[in-house]
Amino acid sequence: MADRLILVTNDDGILSPGLEALERAASRFGDVAVVAPEREMSGVSHALTLTKPLRVRDAGTMRWALTGTPADCVFVAVNHLLPRRPVLVLSGINRGPNLGYDVHYSGTVGGAVEGTIQGIPSVALSLVSATDFPFAWAEPCVEALLERLLADGIPPNVTLNVNIPDPSIAPWKGFKVTHLGNRFYSSDVIARQDPRGGEYLWIGGTRVTLDKSPDSDCGAVHEGYGSITPVTSDLLAREAMGALGWANGLGRPGKEPTP
């Protein structure tokens, strides 16, 4: 355990109380290194910064702030900053849910997925609350999960997306393995005018519709369960390959498409 190193990142920024709570929970199980974005990076998904330089600054003992995305933080940490390879990458604790289709947009999930791509078991963690996000309340839940994860491991090439509801959502019932549900935001685009007469836009709906089936992450959280959803960066839709058999040989010389 003394040589065990755990990397912690997030998308809410280096000053997030959720990051501090995750750092405290992880410190029970080994040495902790924190590499997190200099500022909030919500909604950046798995973006890497390839067109401008990144800057890193010390933010304490084994803590660094980076002018990049969560995925940047994990990539730079593993390949440049850390004294040894971490055994686990933890991203969060996010302020708010990452359920259903959120995984495609979430910087929290993006940071964890980059850990998986780097060959390290990785977990994204989010706190779901209707009130003031009591991260300290969530710490024992995270500790129980980490104890079991470090003992039993995570399947290769799989990232765990974890959402923990606090008591303002429902009484806590423990963890449950789930599939991704359906969670839709309203498609709002708000047009406004700046002081010089130019138009600017705010996107991102505030009205949410979700699937509450009990085996989905959305439904489990609504009932008070912490959802553990295994996701993979392999986006191949295998069930669709047979239906696309008509494309095999399409465009081959002498085989002109039929109008």
25-39: per-residue pLDDT in tens?
A: 999 999 999 999 999
The per-residue pLDDT for 2 is 57
The per-residue pLDDT for 185 is 66
The per-residue pLDDT for 119 is 97
CATH number at residue 152: 3.40.1210.10
Q: How far apart are CA 128 and CA 221, in angstroms?
A: 8
Span 61-73, mean pLDDT? 98
Task: Decide if pLDDT at 255 tops 90.
Answer: no
Q: How far apart are CA 128 and CA 176, in angstroms?
A: 15
Q: How far apart are CA 57 and CA 38, in angstroms?
A: 9
Task: Decide if pLDDT at 61 tops 60.
Answer: yes
Pair type for strands 159-165 and 174-177: unpaired
Residue range of the domain that includes 29: 5-181+211-233
What's the pLDDT band for 201 if we cut at 50, 70, 90? confident
Residue 52 in domain: yes
* Of 5-14, 114-123, 142-151, 185-194, minimum mean pLDDT range: 185-194
Task: Decide if pLDDT at 259 tops 70.
Answer: no
The per-residue pLDDT for 184 is 63
Neighbours of 126 (CB within 10 A): 27
What's the pLDDT band for 190 if we cut at 50, 70, 90? confident
Residue 259 in domain: no
Name residues whose C-beta falls within 8 Å of residue 201's C-beta, 6 or more positions apart in sequence: 189, 190, 191, 192
The per-residue pLDDT for 256 is 62
> Percentage of the chain surpassing pLDDT 70?
94
Residue 190 in domain: no
Residue 164 in domain: yes
Q: How far apart are CA 95 and CA 42, in angstroms?
A: 10
Q: What residues are paired with 174 via a beta bridge? A: 225
Task: Decide if pLDDT at 57 tops 80.
Answer: yes
Residue 19 in domain: yes
Condensed to tens digits (0 to 9), the pLDDT of residues 222-238 reads 999 999 999 998 889 99
Residue 20 in domain: yes
What's the whole-model pTM score? 0.92
Structurally, the chain folds into a number of domains equal to 1
Pair type for strands 122-128 and 88-95: parallel
Residue 92 in domain: yes
The per-residue pLDDT for 212 is 83
Closest-CA residue to 186 (of 201, 203, 169): 203
Closest-CA residue to 106 (of 185, 212, 190): 185
Residue 153 in domain: yes
Q: What residues are paired with 175 via a beta bridge? A: 226
What's the pLDDT band for 116 if we cut at 50, 70, 90? very high
> Percentage of the chain surpassing pLDDT 90?
83
The per-residue pLDDT for 203 is 77
